[in-house]
Chain A
Amino acid sequence: MTDIATSDPTLITGTLTTSPEQVTRTRTIDEVVAEAAHLRSWARLLGEDVAETNRQMSEMHQQAVAVQLEAKALGIAKQSVGEMLNELANAGFAWRDIAALAGVSVPAVRRWRQGEAPTGPNRLAVARIVALMETLRDDHLVSDVASWMEMPLVADASVTAIDLAVAGRLQEVVEIAAGHSTGEDVLDRSQPGWREHYRSDFEVFEAPDGELGTRPVTRERA
């Protein structure tokens, strides 16, 4: 067995002996391989531990955010539904989106605006939207929350934070705003295959009459 040259960066001095004389010897390649394999396994296990801890912390964080949003919503629900709807309208939300987020029809929201009282669960549903909006604005400094929620989560797909929230994934909306997750992370988790689903060879463009249209993406324009 050939010793490794002393200039070799894999040289480890004195780590294999407990002798008080601090005997230094060059380790054999077999020892280096075994040690490297051990370190690799150790790093992998450490990585798995970190990933698992991260997963558990994410889960705990999401649960905590859900509890926080619910507590906030219960407080907000003390307001009249008219006040809550006004707050959302002033923030620039579309009634169509408010209806979808509350899980009701657009005409139902219209009736509430005109004074009809919603059911208790629906009143709480509206309060949850306000709670989400206030959390994004006040805790995560999102400017113009309605506009932010209408922004595509990733460049190549039309999924927005509104879509996530309509699907009940409010915590993930908060996670994205907080910078703990990206739109890609969330779509990978919630909609596997989204890249293929939204892949398109067509693009939207302004036609000569001034209106929008679609056309194939050509190599020159791509």
Chain B
Amino acid sequence: MSLETFEKPDDLYLARGEEVNPLRPLFTGDVVADVAIPGVQDGGTAVVVAHPCSMRGKDAQLEPRVLVAAVAEGGKIGRAAWAGGHFALMPLPDLVEASKLCVARVDDIGKALTEQLVAGTRVACLTPFGVNLLQQRFIWRLTRHEVPTYQLQEVSAHVFEEADLLEEWSDTVCAVGASPERAAASFEAFVRADRGGGNSLQGDLRDPQRRSTVRSACRAEAERVTEEFRCRQGDP
């Protein structure tokens, strides 16, 4: 048995600190400050461990509460030590400070208020590999079952992709003054629209071979929506 580990801290983070895009939807692996976890902590940092599919209900709306794990300082644990030990922890090196280790304590979990997560300061967003590593350690801790990260990636790639596309869409549409809520609603309507035979762009994202087409379609539509919004605003 040997769980996977990171080569360098950058492998784990999509963005940290000021690099985090506030328009990115809340997602598994997001590290948020000032989060109360019932029975665990009244405040402090937490990481979202809920699967992207289970944290959203109908119409892609976030559930009122989302499963998170507490994040704390981690002392000194070498990179190689993670493969065969410290299974109750997920390494978060250089999370807020270079050469300083933080850890997610995967035993200290609970459902935090979504409104607190959304309103809180996002400290970091994990890369797909970071999310898969978190899930691999979580699964091992709960079940003693080792799942390779590439297999977790196969299951979740389409939802990572959708989060990226929503972030890009919001960047484009909100740049002309649309609200993030309006941007998200127009995105959801576009990707979920029935394109005949029960097919949708959201469904197409499950097929790796169709993702490039979906990206191109979303980019073109975001430009169109932006132009439409600009015209309504009276912007020449």
Contact = CB atoms under 8 A, between A and B. Distances in A.
Instruction: Please determine whether chains A and B interact with each other in the same assembly.
Output: yes
A200 B211 contact: no
Interface residues of B, number: 30
Contacts of B211: 92, 94, 147, 150
A147 B212 contact: yes
Tell me the interface secondary structure of chain B in the complex: helix
Interface stretch (B13-21, B35-43, B78-86, B177-185): B13-21
Nearest to B10: A105
A92 B53 contact: no
Contact of A94 (B15, B164, B171, B213): B164
B35 to A, nearest CB: 23
B171 A92 contact: no
B209 interface: yes
A90 interface: yes
A151 B208 contact: yes
Contacts of A158: 150, 153-154
Contact of A110 (B10, B21, B150): B21
Contacts of B128: 96
| Interface size classification for chain A | 20 to 34
B147 interface: yes
Interface of B: 10, 14-15, 19, 21, 53, 128, 147-148, 150-151, 153-156, 158, 161, 164, 168, 171, 206, 208-213, 215-216, 219
Given A93-B215, A147-B209, A211-B53, 10 more contacts: A90-B216, A92-B213, A94-B164, A105-B14, A107-B15, A110-B171, A147-B208, A147-B212, A150-B211, A214-B151
